[in-house]
């Protein structure tokens, strides 16, 4: 049997401790955790010694001197630190009870490091602790048994520096309600509003906060214990390659969804997840979702036909819409008149659709994708752009692309 690592041992013991906590005892006004008592006693004794020194100093100094005033301020600072120390112990006790309350609802979106730190601290498995001059608690903890790797975590900063993500029940209900509404609208013959659904989801999740976005991306949205989360499906591989392209920079995204746990990536995670949920709802809506959502690719009557009798999409069919003066001046939009004209000129000059997409410079192609997405938001647009990406990668021949558009 393999030897347990320190994190494994710490987490196992922490959970045992958390489950054994008596809410009445820990929640009482004068409760001090037994393991903390030696450290607290030492801190109080040190403070007492400093106070004694200051008292002697004050007795020897003229009351009108700056040194006397400074000694008084130092004495008051020690008194305040002792009061703060008591408040910090209460805060820690509340944190233990809080961690016990969420322990069964911790979301996979929680980073391993953050779960380890919170478990060790609130599960009474920290290595050491200390108090700063203000009376604030700092817990010392390492990921192994090497004291050189000890890192200190300030209790006041724990929630922000090592957040624990919980199940976002309210937002999960929002998604389930959205499913029921979409299904009901389909039964009534109502058209599916892709843009409205996407914007509603995006706004709802944004307003709910960063932790909710991270949690939702890693949640079983059906709540049945069997449905894969968006992050899990992302790692397994979604069919649409646009999910693996940064929607703002055009750069490729790591197929390992670990980056979705980072707070700085919340905005991108939200955009991708909202689009995925919207696409899922459009599938629920069925054919209704395909009416009036995106313009069909226009086919010229004089184009050569393949054996199925349908014409191939032309270069003209994928030209970007002209950039208006208002769009060109709007910093929130991708629209760039100079780059827009450059892309269209390249497409027109090419002998075929395949050549135009395949030989387009990377910067131009990235702009092409973002401008298309900016001007057309729908499941059909996603499908079209997916084919453009596949064609650029040479995974589809022109003949295969024609057949795909002929179905």
Contact 329, 364 (CB under 8 A): no
> 152 CB contacts (<8 Å, ≥6 apart)?
130, 138, 139, 140, 141
Residue 300 within any structural domain of the chain: no
Please tell me whether residues 51 and 89 are part of one structural domain.
yes
- Return the pLDDT at 356: 82
Shared domain for 154 and 173, answered yes or no, is no
Give yes or no: residues 106 and 236 share one domain: no
Owner of token pair 């049945």: 224
Q: Percent helix, strand, coil in the chain (nearest 5)? A: 65, 5, 30
34 plus 90 within the same structural domain: yes
CB 367 within 8 A of CB 339: yes
- Is residue 340 domain-shared with residue 397, that is, in the same domain? yes
Q: At what angle do helices 66-102 and 6-20 cross, to 10 degrees?
A: 80
Same domain for 135 and 194, yes or no, is: no
* pTM, to two decimals: 0.69
Which among 95, 128, 161 is the end of a domain? 161
Residue 282 placed within a domain:
yes
Record the tokens describing residue 268, joined without a space. 């991108």
> Long-range pairs for 8-15 at CB < 8 Å and ≥24 separation?
10/116, 10/119, 10/120, 10/123, 10/125, 11/115, 11/116, 11/119, 11/120, 11/123, 13/123, 13/125, 14/119, 14/120, 14/122, 14/123, 14/124, 14/125, 15/103, 15/119, 15/123
Going residue by residue through the chain, which has 407 residues, state the pLDDT in tens, using 9 for 90 and above.
Answer: 668 899 999 999 999 999 998 888 887 878 899 999 999 999 999 999 999 999 999 999 999 999 999 999 999 999 999 999 999 999 999 999 999 999 999 999 999 999 999 999 999 999 999 999 999 999 999 998 888 899 999 999 999 999 999 999 999 999 999 999 999 999 998 889 988 999 999 999 999 999 999 999 999 987 777 889 999 999 999 888 888 888 777 788 999 999 999 999 999 999 999 999 998 998 888 743 333 333 333 322 232 323 333 334 456 767 888 999 888 888 888 899 999 999 999 988 887 776 788 888 988 988 998 888 887 755 556 667 766 776 676 544 444 444 444 44
Give dist(CA 350, CA 170) in Å, integer.
Answer: 51
Shared-domain flag, residues 157 and 262: no
Alpha-carbon torsion angle 154, 122, 125, 81, nearest 10: 40
Does one domain contain both 259 and 277?
Answer: yes
**How many domains would you assign to the chain?**
3
Is 182 part of a structural domain of the chain?
yes
Both 230 and 282 in one domain: the answer is yes
42 and 154 housed in the same domain: yes
Tell me, yes or no, whether 302 lies in a domain. Answer: no
Task: Please enumerate in sequence order all residues whose Cβ is within 8 A of that of 73, keeping only pairs 6 or more positions apart, or say none.
Answer: none
Q: Residues 25, 157: one domain?
A: yes
Structural domain containing residue 89: 8-13+21-161
Q: Is 396 left (phi over 0), alpha (psi -120 to 50) or beta?
A: beta
Report the pLDDT value the prediction gives residue 359, as an integer from 0 to 100. 83
Q: Establish if 401 belongs to a structural domain.
A: yes
Do 34 and 128 share a structural domain? yes
Q: Is residue 1 part of a domain?
A: no
For residue 333, give every residue at least 6 positions away whose Cβ sits within 8 Å of its Cβ, in sequence order, or none: 327, 374
Last residue of a domain, one of 104, 137, 161: 161
- Inside any domain, residue 280: yes
Evaluate whether residue 369 is within a structural domain: yes
Q: Give 5-8's long-range contacts (Cβ < 8 A, gap of 24+).
A: 5/144, 6/142, 6/143, 6/144, 6/145, 7/112, 7/116, 7/143
Q: What's the rounded Cα separation, in Å, for the pair 87 and 93?
A: 10
């Amino acid at each position: 049997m393999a030897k347990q690592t320190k994190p494994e041992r710490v987490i196992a013991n922490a959970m045992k401790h958390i489950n054994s906590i008596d809410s009445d005892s820990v929640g009482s006004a004068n409760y001090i955790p037994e393991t903390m008592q030696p450290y607290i006693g030492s801190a109080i004794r040190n403070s007492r010694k400093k106070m004694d020194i200051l008292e002697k100093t004050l007795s020897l100094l003229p009351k009108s001197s700056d040194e006397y005033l400074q000694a008084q301020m130092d004495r008051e600072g020690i008194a305040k630190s002792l009061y703060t120390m008591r408040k910090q112990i209460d805060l820690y006790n509340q944190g233990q009870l809080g961690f016990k309350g969420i322990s069964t609802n911790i979301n996979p979106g929680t980073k391993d490091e953050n779960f380890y730190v919170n478990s060790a601290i609130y599960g009474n498995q920290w290595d050491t602790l200390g108090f700063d001059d203000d009376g604030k608690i700092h817990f010392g903890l390492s990921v192994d048994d090497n004291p050189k790797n000890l890192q200190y975590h300030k209790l006041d900063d724990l929630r922000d520096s090592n957040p624990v993500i919980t199940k976002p029940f309210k937002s999960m209900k929002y998604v389930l309600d959205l499913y029921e509404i979409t299904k009901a609208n389909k039964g009534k013959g109502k058209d599916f509003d892709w843009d409205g659904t996407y914007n509603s989801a995006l706004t709802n999740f944004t307003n709910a906060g960063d932790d909710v976005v991270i949690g939702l991306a890693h949640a079983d949205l059906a709540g049945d214990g069997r449905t894969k989360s968006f992050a899990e499906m992302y790692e397994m591989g979604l069919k649409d390659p646009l999910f693996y392209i940064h929607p703002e920079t055009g750069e490729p995204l790591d197929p390992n969804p670990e980056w979705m746990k980072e707070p700085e990536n919340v905005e991108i995670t939200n955009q991708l997840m909202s689009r995925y949920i919207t696409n899922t709802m459009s599938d629920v809506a069925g054919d209704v979702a395909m009416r009036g959502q995106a313009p069909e690719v226009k086919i010229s009557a004089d184009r050569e036909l393949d054996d199925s009798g349908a014409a191939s999409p032309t270069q003209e069919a994928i030209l970007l819409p002209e950039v208006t003066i208002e769009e060109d001046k709007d910093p929130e939009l991708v629209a760039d008149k100079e780059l827009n004209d450059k892309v269209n000129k390249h497409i027109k000059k090419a002998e075929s659709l395949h050549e135009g997409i395949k030989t387009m410079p990377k910067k131009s192609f990235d702009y092409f994708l973002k401008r298309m997405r900016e001007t057309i938001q729908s499941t059909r647009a996603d499908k079209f752009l997916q084919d453009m990406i596949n064609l650029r990668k040479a995974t589809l021949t022109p003949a295969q692309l024609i057949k795909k558009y002929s179905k």
